[in-house]
Chains A and B, each alone.
Chain A
């Protein structure tokens, strides 16, 4: 089955710096790669996602890159702010229709701390 590895487990940056979180996946059939942000005491919330037919996607200060050949994808946050402090999860899933019965597999999370 799919296995998603996420690094680093903790990341501390100064406000204004960039933060990069990296994930690798094992199943080449995976085609959907979302990133979720979880603030303390809340449920995860999608911040950006990318599909396998796209190499990069950007939304203001957040970008995600995908390298299908190497089976890795990364989250980039520029100009970090204290409110970016949270736990970030990457995930990977295969198509559900067509018999593969896709399952959304999460990485183990990265705790990002942005120091003012």
Chain B
């Protein structure tokens, strides 16, 4: 069983569209994250939820909105997609002190905006 699973793995869409990426973890962790990896492989956190509460909200356009219906799920919704949103988005989870313990990453969602 995959510990942190994201869907879809690939997403190609046109500018201006709205899309969602789903993430689920079956590890029983209480903290989940969304990271963005750009074309140069730079990894940067976007959001973090601890027990369904938003605890990290980095400088990200408000077109990006995370939603955590429960501790095991953290979805990412993106409105009005732009070319610059093309990247690989990783979901991750951890247990214990947020940011300060091992994070388990999903396989990533490669978003291409055309």
- Contacts A44-B105, A103-B58, A104-B99 known; 17 new A-B pairs at CB < 8 A: A41-B107, A43-B4, A43-B92, A44-B43, A45-B105, A46-B102, A87-B41, A89-B43, A94-B100, A96-B98, A101-B56, A102-B97, A103-B99, A108-B41, A108-B42, A109-B41, A109-B42
Q: How far is the CB of B101 from chain A (nearest CB, A)?
A: 8
Number of interface residues of B (CB under 8 A): 24
Per-position binary interface string of chain A over residues 19-33, scored 1 when its CB falls under 8 Å from any chain B CB and 0 otherwise: 000000000000110
Q: Which residues of B contact A73 (CB under 8 A)?
A: none
User: Which positions in B face A, CB cutoff 8 Å?
Assistant: 4, 40-45, 55-56, 58, 90, 92, 97-108
Number of interface residues of A (CB under 8 A): 26
Of all chain B residues, which has the CB nearest A95?
B100
- A43 touching B43 by the CB < 8 A rule? no
A38 and B100 CA atoms in complex are apart in Å by 19
19 contacts between A and B (CB under 8 A): A32-B99, A36-B105, A38-B41, A42-B107, A42-B108, A43-B90, A43-B108, A44-B43, A46-B102, A46-B103, A93-B99, A94-B100, A96-B99, A103-B45, A103-B56, A104-B99, A106-B42, A108-B40, A109-B42
Give A82-99 interface residues, CB cut-off 8 Å to B.
87, 89, 93-97
Q: How far is the CB of A23 from chain B (nearest CB, A)?
A: 14
Of all chain A residues, which has the CB nearest B44?
A106
Q: Which residues of A contact B44 (CB under 8 A)?
A: 106
A41 and B105 CA atoms in complex are apart in Å by 12
Q: How far is the CB of B50 from chain A (nearest CB, A)?
A: 8
Q: Which residues of B contact A109 (CB under 8 A)?
A: 41-43
Q: Which residues of A contact B55 (CB under 8 A)?
A: 96, 101
A106 and B99 CA atoms in complex are apart in Å by 11
* 3 interchain residue pairs of minimum CB distance: A43-B105, A106-B43, A102-B99
A32 and B13 CA atoms in complex are apart in Å by 38
A43 and B3 CA atoms in complex are apart in Å by 12
Q: How far is the CB of B48 from chain A (nearest CB, A)?
A: 9
Give A47-97 interface residues, CB cut-off 8 Å to B.
49, 87, 89, 93-97
